[in-house]
């Protein structure tokens, strides 16, 4: 019988991604994401619980996470759960469960995202001044069909 190991979370980064490289020079990004549940208890009081998730991204996805993600930003992560075992400095076995990401989507407004270092700076938006000409829309929408005959339904 087939099995499924899939984790999907939407939350906020608890810290900037930490970039490392394996001996083969493969990039690895690790970061934490907080998800918060809210509910009303039987006394009518609002309750809240935050869960912290450790996320690991590899290769090109790790590079993208390291370049664009920042503490506090909202992110969508999709991946699989993985539990690792290791020995600490005193010889005790330790375990950690993490999400190995295969998909990452930055959420929030575009202005909330950090600017790329290699991209030219966007010109400052100018407000319309009284008596001046109207400003062009910097994000024009797709053109609408000329008449109803062009619609596919």
Q: Does the predicted model carry a pTM greater than 0.85?
A: no
Does residue 90 surpass a pLDDT of 70?
yes
Helix boundaries (H) for 20-150: 59-68
- For residue 32, CA distances in Å to 46, 62, 88, 131, 133 come to 25, 14, 21, 50, 48
The pLDDT assigned to 112 comes to 58
**Higher confidence at residue 134 or residue 152?**
152
The pLDDT assigned to 1 comes to 81
* CATH number 2.40.50.140 is the correct assignment for the domain at 1-37+48-113: yes
Query: For 15-53, what is each residue's pLDDT tens digit?
Result: 999 999 999 999 999 999 999 999 999 999 999 999 999
- Give residue limits of the domains in the chain: 1-37+48-113
Query: For 59-76, what is each residue's pLDDT tens digit?
Result: 999 999 999 999 999 999
Rounded CA-CA distance 64/29 in Å is 9
**Higher confidence at residue 116 or residue 130?**
116
């Amino acid at each position: 019988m087939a099995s499924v190991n899939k984790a999907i979370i939407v939350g906020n980064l608890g810290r900037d991604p930490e970039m490392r490289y394996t001996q083969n020079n493969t990039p690895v990004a690790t970061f934490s994401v907080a998800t918060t549940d809210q509910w009303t208890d039987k006394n009518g009081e609002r309750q809240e619980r935050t869960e912290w998730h450790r996320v690991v991204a590899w290769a090109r996805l790790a590079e993208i996470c390291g370049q664009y993600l920042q503490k506090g930003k909202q992110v969508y992560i999709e991946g699989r759960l993985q539990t690792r075992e290791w020995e600490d400095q005193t010889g005790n076995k330790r375990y950690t469960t993490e999400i190995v990401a295969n998909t990452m989507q930055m959420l929030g407004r575009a202005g909330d995202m950090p600017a790329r270092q290699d991209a030219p700076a966007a010109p400052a938006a100018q407000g319309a001044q009284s008596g001046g000409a109207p400003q062009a829309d910097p994000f024009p929408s797709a053109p609408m069909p000329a008449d109803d005959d062009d619609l596919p339904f």
